[in-house]
Amino acid sequence: MKSTVILPLALLAGCANAWGTLGHQSIALLAQQYLLPGTIESVQTLLNDTTTTYLGNIALWADSFRYTPEGSFSGGYHFVNGHDAPPPESCEIIYPEDCPPEGCVIKAIGNYTERLKDHTLPVDQRQQALKFVVHFIGDISQPLHTEAFGAGANNLTVWFQGYKTNLHAAWDTAIPNAMIGFPPNAKIGNGDSLGWANNLAAAINAGKYKKLVWAWLKDHSLRNLKEEEKAATVWAQESNEEVCDYAMVKGGNAYNGTEIGGAYYEGAKPIVEVSIAKAGIRLAAWLNLIFEGQTGFEVWSIGQPGQGQGKGENKGNNNNKGEGWH
């Protein structure tokens, strides 16, 4: 996805692609808090990083890699263009039809999950696969990363509290930054992101998100590439629905040239928050499945519909089956 807005250089990479620094780091640092001990060991070994922010440190890597000559093949992996009617008329992801030959985020999650599982690959290839998976499970949770209109609303010029940007970039960066009290062009670090991740963890462990965790994970399955792509399609569909329900509910062009830092921002906040929380939990459970064969959230599901019985609304693919995932 492209962006032509003029932004401070340090921000450019983050703004043009996806959640900016804050979003991606927060998702990664939130996920870290739910990794099983064996997963932590495997991941730290693969990354050769035992610092306390080992996943936060690589969360943005894919956004710089895509601009290098060797990484240019991955530019199309950061989003999927839902070929729906212009929102808000209809929002839907149809896979694989919506994924062009150059790839998309759904296919990329499947491919790099398979590669991460594949112990016959060289370590550097598995390390790269891990860095992609961490980043793309973030990207797919950003509603405008699943929207075709205007290349994900990159062509809609907006102002955010007087700062000129576009609707896509505002969801990536200006809105999340404002939620933790920073201006759109602030330089964010792991420390800032960790603060947000900790707040989200509290809301997940004991607060408003606790009851939602089972539903966030109901499509987790690593049985084969098809199942992985199926899960990622569900995640993309959820994000895409937020485009019709809120992000572009007035029709895309209605936002062009408007200031969105007031009422629109207030309505976007809860969507951004739950998207980040959900992506962090999904990432942790996905990595736990890859490295330890279980999501690590099994007990969170007890008593929830479709869980704990070995079958349910996801037709037996629920995360309580400990077999066949490696």
Ligand X SMILES: *[C@@H]1O[C@H](CO)[C@@H](O)[C@H](O)[C@H]1NC(C)=O
Residues with catalytic function? 19, 24, 63, 66, 78, 135, 139, 145, 168, 172
CA dist 125 → 48, 50, 108, 131, 162 (Å): 14, 19, 14, 10, 44
Find the shortest distance in angstroms from Cβ 139 to Zn ion.
Answer: 4
Return the one option of Zn ion, ligand X, none that residue 18 interacts with (CB less than 5 to 8 A, by type).
Zn ion
For the CB of residue 257, give the shortest distance to ligand X in the complex, in Å.
Answer: 3
Per-residue interface string for the shown chain with ligand X, residues 170-209, x marking contact by CB under 6 A: ----------------------------------------
Helix axes 123-139, 105-117, angle to 10 degrees: 150
Please, which residues bridge with residue 159 across strands?
Answer: 164, 259
**Number of residues located near Zn ion, criterion CB under 5 A:** 5
Q: What single-letter DSSP state applies at residue 187?
A: P
Q: If binding is defined by CB under 6 A, does position 156 make contact with ligand X?
A: yes
- Does 20 interact with ligand X (rule: CB under 6 A)? no
Q: Is 78 among the residues that bind Zn ion (CB under 5 A)?
A: yes
**Do the Cβ atoms of 163 and 256 come closer than 8 Å?**
no
Per CB under 5 A, the list member of 5, 11, 18, 158 interacting with Zn ion is 18
- How many C-beta neighbours within 10 Å does residue 99 have? 21
Q: Is residue 168 involved in binding ligand X (CB under 6 A)?
A: no
- If you count them, how many residues does the chain have? 326
List the beta strands (DSSP E) in the chain.
157-160, 163-166, 258-259
Contact segment (CB under 6 A) with ligand X among 253-261, 281-289, 291-299, 307-315 equals 253-261
Comparing every residue's Cβ against Zn ion, the nearest one is: 18
Q: Which is nearer to Zn ion, 18 or 287 (CB)?
A: 18
CB of 223 to Zn ion, least distance (A): 27
Dig out the tokens for 174 from the structure: 């200006």
Distance CA 93, CA 113 (A): 20
**Residue 139 found at the interface with Zn ion (CB under 5 A):** yes
Residue 256 engages ligand X in binding (rule: CB under 6 A): yes
Concatenated DSSP letters for 212-243?
Answer: GHHHHTTT---SSHHHHHHHHHHHHHHHHHHI
Chain residues in the site for ligand X (CB under 6 A): 48, 103, 107, 111, 149-150, 155-157, 253, 256-257
